[in-house]
Structure 1
Amino acid sequence: MKSLPKSLHQKLLQREQNNALRQLALPNNLVDFSSNDYLGFAKSEAIFQQTHDLLVSRNYKVNGATGSRLLTGNHSIYTETEEFIAQFHQAEAALIFNSGYDANVGFFSSVPQRNDIILYDELSHASIRDGIQMSLAKSFKFKHNDVVDLENLLTKFQTATRNPQPATIFIITESVFSMDGDSPDLEKLVALSEKHNAYLVIDEAHAIGVFGEKGEGLVQQLNLQNNVFARIITFGKALGCHGAAVLGSEQLKTYLTNFARSFIYTTGLSPHSVATIFVAYQQLAKSQQERENLFQNIDYFKSCLPSSIFHLPSSSTIHSVVIPGNERVKIIAQQLQQNGFDVKPILSPTVPEGQERLRFCLHSYNSQKEIFTVLDLLSTFVF
């Protein structure tokens, strides 16, 4: 078989030399401190069985969607699930995409137009940034969670584009950031967007299932759902399945159906995948105990952290301990894994050089003994 071009081979060698080469790993039986399965839904036998029962009751004995949703793939469970999701999230409409990546790429590549302005948080997820790069709009990043820097940019671009016709400005952020686990001041962002007549878009991937009375997300916990232009939600975290949706107006749903290429030009999710989303949402509405356990574990984790370990502030499921250097953080992660705990290192260039870290993801099913033990081990390995 023909080998890689030399330029690509050199890029792989450089990754190896920097201790940053990514490799696929098989599932393990270690104590889970790395997955996004915050409520244990991915391993839920009840959701598995209820999904099967739903499909049988609807006589859906097929394996695939057979085509894009605009051709043959828009089975009736799609419609039922989107209506349920929209009602659950107090939105006019929901449009399901095949993944969070597809949703962000489809939205940001198609909604902002030429000469529009996109202002995005500098730590926005790669899928957001990839969608922005595909857009014809002009884009500028603002300092992480810095509303002062954002308002300076808003003022600058509104002044520059006041005549003859003001540009449409989009503000992009996440409600919970995937690497730091922190959150912006969403109420201030809403106030800024309204003051400057901008369109606020919030990715709620790591907030769905965690925040809100029934896991609706941080936007609804703060009762801001009517002040946000669009929310992107994903099902591969707390909901334990696969796919994503864009929440917004009926007009936005129609627009994306017509112009989001990652929606139009792909085979739809299978009936089984969509039925799993539907059942998981029904389970989410009844998962108060799981969320209570989760937040008890978050509080306990923070109380057990040694003061000498640099921990990025977070009230979410994601907690990062910064250990600079790819080689060092990989060694410590391996030591924790050898002792039975699945804790993953996050390396540069995924995070900036010097910000390499261990990323702890907490779950409703972690025990306090597990939390205490893994942090006690960490303190011995770090020093």
Structure 2
Amino acid sequence: MADKHIPNHLFKALIEREQKGMLRKLTSNYPTIDFCSNDYLGFSKIGLLSKKLETSSLKQETIYGSTGSRLISGNSVFVEEAEKQIALFHHAESALIFNSGYDANLGLLSSIPQKEDLILFDELVHASIHDGMRLGLAKNFKFKHNDVEALKDLVQRHQKDFKNIYIVVESVYSMDGDTAPLLEITEFIKPFENIFLIVDEAHAIGVFGNQGRGLCNALGIEKKCFARVYTYGKAMGCHGSAIVGSEVLRKYLINFSRSFIYTTALPNHSISAILNAYQLLIETDQKDILQNNISYFYSKTSGIKNMIKSQSAIHSLVVDSNEKADLLEKKLGTKNMYAKAIKSPTVKEGAERLRFCVHAYNTKEEIDLLIEQLHN
């Protein structure tokens, strides 16, 4: 019976989602062999970051809460110096730290494009990008995943109707694990003074580029991007994010990005964790170990039907229904292996999959055991 203090549509929505096999639930009982987490380099799981923080000169013990937003009482010399170091590492003029990748995309896409502008986005970009566009003023159109010709067609059709065009892609896509055709896109937009490229590098930092600087670095296009978003909850093993770009971009976001302005800032110990994670990128060989594991995983899965080809840490086996995805996750769980069923509506119906994340700490024996189960 419905509770009179709870709107009926809440019950109806939950019942409908459960009947379709789409109901999301939290769990905390994870199998031991990890092919699920975003901790690609193992900075978090194998304790590299916590050990680094214990002895670091960048350790901050003064306060655990920042006490306010950056514009009130939550700013410090320490965080501003951190942003300078982040900008230097990513070969940018400036950087601005946000509390999460979601906050960064929300703040960027809701504040930069204006009413007279257009956003063209890859159909598989993250939910945070969609939410940012919904909150913004600009019109937006999607283009077929990684289809540069479709993007060109949209530009040619609409360029004269809008003041500026923003193209939004992810360098590595979180569900398929494939990479954006960044070289083709940057070459195409070169003649246009009013087209600006925004790249979300969430799943590329720590995995690609010199010392893990990302795919834009690996391809030599850092200076060709209007804005790049780097998040720290994946390969970096901590929390937070940064938008890097020009000093004008930084000043604009400080003044107009609501997800930056109206939230309590990250505390100094979180900033310290970010800086120490960057030092680990420079000092350790975790990226090389990860790349070796990715190559091994790719070679072992190349003959498996419906496995999406990927050179990143993310690999997906499409199984085309929520029920099949759930079943495979449970079967692997009985072998003490954890890979996550990604179900609709997170992905579109018919594209449900089991997603595998490869890590620096996965052994070849663990990968072999997984492949054996997939063949079975």
> Is the pair's TM-score, using the shorter chain for normalization, greater than 0.5?
yes
Paired residue for 2:28, among 15, 26, 48?
26
Q: Which residue is 2:92 aligned to?
A: 91
- The answer as to whether partners of 1:121 and 1:142 remain within 8 angstroms in 2 is yes
CA distance in 1, matches of 2:304, 2:110: 44
1:38 is aligned to 2:45: no
CA distance in 1, matches of 2:29, 2:337: 13
CA distance in 2, matches of 1:46, 1:313: 30
- Note the C-alpha offset of 1:28: 2.6
Paired residue for 2:235, among 235, 238, 241?
238
- Note the C-alpha offset of 1:76: 2.4
- The answer as to whether partners of 1:55 and 1:61 remain within 8 angstroms in 2 is no
**Which segment drifts farther, 79-88 or 171-180?**
79-88
- The answer as to whether partners of 2:43 and 2:236 remain within 8 angstroms in 1 is yes
- The answer as to whether partners of 1:306 and 1:379 remain within 8 angstroms in 2 is no
- Note the C-alpha offset of 1:167: 1.1
1:138 is aligned to 2:139: yes
- Note the C-alpha offset of 1:61: 2.4
Q: Which residue is 1:204 aligned to?
A: 201
SS in structure 2 of the partner of residue 209 of structure 1: coil
Paired residue for 1:330, among 326, 333, 353?
326
Paired residue for 2:275, among 269, 272, 278?
278
SS in structure 2 of the partner of residue 132 of structure 1: helix
Kindly tell me the number of residue pairs found equivalent between the two proteins: 373
- Note the C-alpha offset of 1:23: 0.7
- Note the C-alpha offset of 1:3: 4.9
- Note the C-alpha offset of 1:49: 3.6
Q: Deviations over 1:74-133 (max 9, x none)?
A: 122211211111000000000000000000000000000112000000111000010011
- The answer as to whether partners of 2:59 and 2:272 remain within 8 angstroms in 1 is no
1:227 is aligned to 2:230: no
- Note the C-alpha offset of 1:56: 8.3
- In structure 2, what residue type is equivalent to 1:304? K
Q: Which residue is 1:150 aligned to?
A: 151
SS in structure 2 of the partner of residue 247 of structure 1: strand
Q: Deviations over 1:227-286 (max 9, x none)?
A: 110001100010000000000000100000000000000000011111100111011112
Q: Which residue is 1:354 aligned to?
A: 350
CA distance in 2, matches of 1:193, 1:4: 51
- Tell me the TM-score normalised to structure 1 length: 0.94
**Which segment drifts farther, 39-48 or 68-77?**
39-48
SS in structure 2 of the partner of residue 214 of structure 1: helix
Give the 3 Å change call, closer, same or farther, for CA 371–68 of structure 1 in structure 2.
same
- The answer as to whether partners of 1:30 and 1:337 remain within 8 angstroms in 2 is no
CA distance in 2, matches of 1:32, 1:338: 13
CA distance in 2, matches of 1:341, 1:79: 42
- In structure 2, what residue type is equivalent to 1:93? S
- Tell me the TM-score normalised to structure 2 length: 0.96
Q: Which residue is 1:217 aligned to?
A: 214
Q: Which residue is 2:185 aligned to?
A: 189
Give the 3 Å change call, closer, same or farther, for CA 27–249 of structure 1 in structure 2.
farther
- The answer as to whether partners of 1:68 and 1:74 remain within 8 angstroms in 2 is yes
Q: Which residue is 1:296 aligned to?
A: 292
- The answer as to whether partners of 1:154 and 1:196 remain within 8 angstroms in 2 is no
Q: Deviations over 1:347-374 (max 9, x none)?
A: 0111111111000000011011100111
- In structure 2, what residue type is equivalent to 1:127? S
Q: Which runs of 5+ in 2 are unaligned?
A: none
- The answer as to whether partners of 2:31 and 2:333 remain within 8 angstroms in 1 is no
SS in structure 1 of the partner of residue 291 of structure 2: helix
Q: Which residue is 1:126 aligned to?
A: 127
Q: Which residue is 2:17 aligned to?
A: 15
The percentage of aligned residue pairs carrying the same residue is 47
Q: Which runs of 5+ in 1 are unaligned?
A: none
